[in-house]
Amino acid sequence: MTAYVRNAWYVAAWSHELEAGKPFPASILDEPIVIYRGESGRMVALEDRCVHRLAPLSLGRCEGDRLRCMYHGLLYDPDGAVAAIPGQDLIPKNARVKAYPVADRHDWVWVWMGDPAQADLALIPPAVGLSDPDYILGHGHLDYAAEAQLINDNLLDFSHLTYVHANSFGAGPEFAENLPRLEPLERGVRFSRWMVDTHGQSSRKSSVPIDSYMTYDFLIPGVLLMWSGNYPQGTAKKLDFAAPALDDAQAGVTFTSQAVTPLGPKQSRYFFSWGPRVGHGDEKLRDQLMTMAGVAFGEDKTMIEAQQKVIDRSPGARIMPTAHDKGVTIFTRLVERLAKAESSAASLPEKVA
């Protein structure tokens, strides 16, 4: 499996997918995980594999804040330790499963896949959730028969919009002919782009020439957060092509949160939401955007799954980067650096007390 950063928060599900008292199965980085909300409201994430005969705990039953395996009845505490074994008083010290840090933020369930001691809620990317009162968002997800890295690469190079999404998004030649402005971030990269003297795109077209601005952060482990808006003609030159204030946009402000989660080898899940800012559109526009996104993201899926097949048939073949791959390179090197640091830390001998 492709190397990914482990000390990061991965999206496992939409928050509303978790029903109270019902175990939810997930897979991240080829690790089976069961997530549930206990009676107290506490969210728990455990290895989805009973220590007795390896039955999936996601087929179990919630009892208070505990989880019972419904094969032979072992009962688990939220920390993963076996609390009871039917017909047996002695519980072995090693009778436990792995417990994962888990959080509910921005209407997504996030799971920390690395060292639990380093789990930091401040590292959860600042997405815009479905319940955010400032936006009217639709949402969905797609499963890919492809490595998550290929989806990340696609989101890090918008020059493909000109060709893959010419009909769905109505993207023009500017995405391929002009390079965006890039800014490396501590845990990602920021893209920004002005499109001047345009009439906008697709359902957000303007009857008069405008300047359109788009910016997004692509953050570890694979989360895209993007807003865009329309400004009066001449705004870009007036600002010397610097970033405008979101609140100064005269129309067309939308936000999309997207997350790519590697489920296992060549299996990924792509979560997405999109919609207008309140005052810049309504439920009708949201639905138009989501219909358009459904077509566009299907176009991406077709291309990337086909790309994966070519890669599988081409062992040893190398890619040839272009000018548009700068963002891909920045993010890939960041992932490699963080993954290498994690590997080095894991190989260090434990300190003796």
Distance CA 340, CA 3 (A): 10
Query: Is residue 11 within 8 Å of residue 261, measured between CB atoms?
Result: yes
Q: Architecture of domain 138-334 in CATH?
A: Alpha-Beta Complex (3.90)
Q: Please provide the distance, in angstroms rounded to a whole number, between the alpha carbons at the two ends of the chain.
A: 36
**pTM metric for this prediction:** 0.94
Distance CA 61, CA 242 (A): 55
**Coil vs helix vs strand at 323:** helix
Query: Is residue 257 within 8 Å of residue 128, measured between CB atoms?
Result: yes
Q: Which residues contact 165 (CB under 8 A, 6 or more apart)?
A: 171, 296, 299
Which stretches of the chain score pLDDT less than 70?
1, 199-207, 347-353
**Coil vs helix vs strand at 183:** strand
In this prediction, residue 2 carries a pLDDT of 81
In this prediction, residue 175 carries a pLDDT of 86
Provide the residue ranges of all domains of the chain, joining segments of one domain with +.
Answer: 9-123, 138-334
In this prediction, residue 352 carries a pLDDT of 47
DSSP of 75-130: EE-TTSBEEEBTTB----TT-B--EE-EEEETTEEEEE-S-GGG--GGGS-----T
**Beta bridge partners of residue 135, listed in sequence order:** 277
Count CA atoms within 13 Å of residue 210 on its CB side. Answer: 19
CA distances from 11 to 22, 27, 58 (A): 19, 10, 18
Residue 93: CB atoms within 10 A of its CB come to: 7
* DSSP single-letter state for residue 313: T
Distance CA 150, CA 311 (A): 11
Strand ranges, E, within the chain:
9-14, 24-28, 31-37, 43-47, 61-63, 66-68, 75-76, 82-84, 99-100, 102-105, 108-112, 138-144, 181-185, 188-198, 210-219, 223-232, 251-264, 267-276
Count CA atoms within 13 Å of residue 157 on its CB side. Answer: 24
Considering the domain 9-123 in this protein, what is its CATH number?
Answer: 2.102.10.10
